[in-house]
Chains A and B, each alone.
Chain A
Amino acid sequence: MAYEITLITTMAISVLFALSLNFITGFCGQISLGHAAFMGVGAYTSAMLMKAGIPLILTLPVAAALAGLLGLLVGIASLRVKHDFLAITTMGVVFLFVGIVRQQEFLGGEIGISGIKSSPLGREGFMLFCILLAAIFAAYSLMVKRSWMGFVFDSIADNEDVSRVLGIDVPRYKLIAFVIGTSVAGVAGGLYVQQFRFIGPDSFGFVESVSVLAMVIVGGIGSVWGVIIAAAILSVLPLWFQFIDDYKILVYSALLFIMMRFAPDGLAGLTNRLIKSLRKKV
């Protein structure tokens, strides 16, 4: 059972993390190649506080606040750049994060932070806690999607200039998306610390940022259910591939490439097309 519990906890954390990016990239259309940096800020905050003896649950709000604060700063900076410029700026953020953390002695430098106590909730309790948080945010995402704010996000993602003409305060909504998305990523970071009980600068690099973006795109950008399923599958896929050990990253990247090449609208698009063609036959 222990193995399954670890697996499901990892899945839940990944779902939460992917949904947080979906809020920014999926809903509001702002591509981010540096989302792992915000998870990293949350993770380092939680880790430092937990080392000082504070229980995880009390560190999470602090982690969310700091990650959200950085998200606000990056968001304000990102208002000035669009499309590909935005993608590269956010990529810069993650390299900046890793590059700075590496040189800081008090954050453990290259070695990272280890020796974090296991959760007082027990393994199963912690798993349920992660699932609960992921479920709450999924429900919130679904709610936002159907709300007035969801429509505003949609219109910004679709065409910023038209939204502006319609009288929508585009910068304000972009910042809201950034702050919510990044602070939830911070919470996911706190959970990550508790789960793995070790973090280093490489845990939150560019590859992790791309992986989470891959989850959102494979799921079908903006689709909450698609992203949940994709995050759950992709987060444990490398573990299932253990039997081909040496080739697992190769297979993973090949799958990602094939997905982009043949089904660029993701699982959500794939399902929709399947349903449509079934309906036609009936």
Chain B
Amino acid sequence: MIYLELVVQGIVQGSIYALIALGLTLVYGLLRILHVAHAALFTLGGYIGVLVTNSTGNFPLAMLTAMIVVGFVGIAVYKLAYEPLLEKPPYIALIASIALFIASEEIFRILFGPYGLSYTNPPLQLSFELLPDFYLKQGELLVIVGSIIMLTVLALVSGKTRMGVSWRATVTDPKMAQAFGINIQHVRYWNFFVGSALAAAAGVLVALLNNLVEPTMGSVTSYKALAIIVLGGLGSIRGTLIASLAIGIIESFGTIYIGHLMNRDAIAFAFLIVVLMFRPQGLLGAK
């Protein structure tokens, strides 16, 4: 039974990683930037979710608001921070992104206090019996189902619509895509909007599971999300999804069996380093 429980916990955690890491992969695939500040958008999503739920009592509305607002903030980040740095060596954008992330943590702390916020009436906290003696919280179920729905929609959009085709064309060869009349700028805006909205959704869900948002909630997650997209083979969406679930499950088993040797975060990174030694291009990366 404990195995099943660990697997399910791993899947819950992995779904959240997937939502966060997907935005990072989208940005990396398009711009070759390691977008650390993505985690700031995740945190912002969590804050908006809690604030809106507490003032209106409407959780779905909070989720929607968080996704839309954060989506636009994502576009603003691209305009202000990354667009002018695209021609520079990649570490410049990386450091700029880290600086932006640290600054945002400070802003959250100064605005809302160092101890964070909680839901006054946390929604979806009831547990139900999935199997005999095996309980799952409603919130955890929402995380899994919600991620599956959002990722399916994304897969359909990128596979079946004009917008999706132009997005994939831009990722493969920006110059060629431009020559075929695709507006690259629009593609980039959409890219940041969708990626950031997914991160916001993850933020709201994490806030729900922990019933807490705090200024530093994004830090470890963001670095781990970077590890995940590298593990998946930078820019590969399928690789990212597999890596997210793998890291989620390995962490939940690892904390039980080798937790006395290293903590949760170290387990994730140890796994990353070991995999990279055998597959330097990541799980599904192109050589």
A247 and B266 contact, Cβ closer than 8 Å, known pairs A81-B280, A92-B227, A264-B85? no
Interface residue A111 (Cβ < 8 Å from any Cβ of B): no
Tell whether, in the assembled complex, residue A84 and residue B102 are in contact, meaning their CB atoms are under 8 Å apart.
no
A84 touches B90 (CB 8 A): yes
Chain B residue at minimum C-beta to C-beta distance from A207: B102
Q: Are B227 and A88 in contact (CB under 8 A)?
A: yes
B230 touches A88 (CB 8 A): yes
**Alpha-carbon distance A88/B273, docked complex (angstroms):** 9
Residue A261 contacts which of B32, B81, B268, B269 (CB distance < 8 angstroms)?
A: B81
Within 8 A of A (CB), among B259-287: 259-270, 272-273, 276-277, 280-282
Chain B residues within 8 Å of A257, by CB: 81, 96, 99-100, 103
- B169 to chain A minimum Cβ distance, whole angstroms, is 23
In the complex, what residues of A have CB within 8 A of residue B263's CB? Answer: 99, 102-103
- Verify if A233 is at the interface (C-beta below 8 Å from B): no
Query: CA–CA, A98 to B267, complex, Å?
Result: 11
Q: Nearest chain A CB to B262's CB is how many angstroms away?
A: 4
Q: Indicate if the CB atoms of B91 and A261 lie closer than 8 Å.
A: no
> Are B96 and A260 in contact, with the CB atoms below 8 A?
yes
Please classify the interface of chain B as helix (H, G, I), strand (E, B), loop, or mixed, using the class held by over half of its residues: helix
Say whether, besides A87-B34, A91-B223, A95-B223, A80 and B260 are in contact (CB < 8 Å).
Answer: no
Residue on A nearest B260 in the bound complex, by CB: A103
Asked if A254 contacts B103 (CB within 8 A), the reply is: yes
Within 8 Å CB of B264, what residues of A? 99
- CB pair B276–A83 under 8 Å, yes or no, is no
Residue on A with the closest CB to B226? A88
Complex contacts, B280 vs chain A, CB 8 Å: 80-82, 85
Closest B residue to A249 by beta carbon equals B106
| Known A-B contacts A81-B280, A88-B227; A250 and B103 likewise in contact (beta carbons under 8 Å) | yes
For B48-90 the 0/1 string (1 means CB < 8 A from A) is: 0000000000000000000000000000000001001100111
The tally of CB-CB contacts under 8 A between chains A and B is 124
> Which of A80, A85, A89, A246 has a CB less than 8 Å from the CB of B234?
A85
List A contacts of B95 (CB < 8 A). Answer: 210, 213-214, 217, 256, 260
Question: Is A249 touching B102 in the complex (CB atoms < 8 A)?
Answer: yes
Instruction: Count how many chain B residues have C-beta atoms less than 8 Å from C-beta atoms of the other chain.
Output: 47
The smallest beta-carbon distance between B252 and chain A, in angstroms, is: 16
Is A96 part of the binding interface, using a Cβ–Cβ cutoff of 8 Å?
Answer: yes
| A contact residues, total (Cβ < 8 Å) | 39
Query: Which residues of chain A are within 8 angstroms of B102 by Cβ–Cβ distance?
Result: 207, 249, 252-253
Q: Which residues of chain B from 95 to 117 have a CB within 8 Å of any chain A CB? A: 95-96, 98-100, 102-103, 106-107, 110
B262 touches A217 (CB 8 A): no
Contact A83 B92 (CB under 8 A): no
Q: Which of B28, B226, B263 has the most CB of A within 10 A?
A: B263
Q: Which residues 219-272 in A have Cβ within 8 Å of B in the complex? A: 246-247, 249-250, 252-254, 256-257, 260-261, 264
Which chain B residues border A256 with CB–CB below 8 Å? Answer: 95-96, 99
Docked pose: A86 CA to B147 CA in angstroms = 30
B7 lies within 8 A of chain A by Cβ:
no
The answer to whether the Cβ of B246 comes within 8 Å of any Cβ in the partner chain is no
Name the one of A213, A250, A260 contacting B85, with C-beta atoms under 8 angstroms: A260
**Complex CA–CA separation, A247 to B105 (angstroms):** 11
Whether A264 pairs with B262 at a CB distance below 8 angstroms is no
> Within 8 Å CB of B265, what residues of A?
95, 98-99
Q: A80-B276, A85-B282 are in contact. Are A206 and B223 (CB under 8 A)?
A: yes
Instruction: For the complex, give the distance between the alpha carbons of A96 and B266 in Å.
Output: 4
Instruction: Confirm or deny: B94 has a beta carbon within 8 angstroms of a beta carbon on chain A.
Output: yes
Complex CA–CA separation, A16 to B63 (angstroms): 49
Nearest residue, chain B, Cβ from A99: B266
**For A31, A87, A93, A95, which residue has the most chain B Cβ atoms within 10 angstroms?**
A95
Closest Cβ–Cβ distance, residue B118 to chain A (whole Å):
23
Q: Closest approach, in angstroms, between the C-beta of A202 and any C-beta of chain B?
A: 12
CB contact under 8 A between A100 and B99, given known A85-B234, A85-B282, A92-B273: no
Q: A84-B230, A95-B265 given. 4 additional CB < 8 A pairs?
A: A85-B281, A87-B91, A88-B227, A99-B264
Residues of A at the B interface (CB closer than 8 Å) are: 31, 77, 80-85, 87-89, 91-93, 95-96, 98-100, 102-103, 206-207, 210, 213-214, 217, 246-247, 249-250, 252-254, 256-257, 260-261, 264
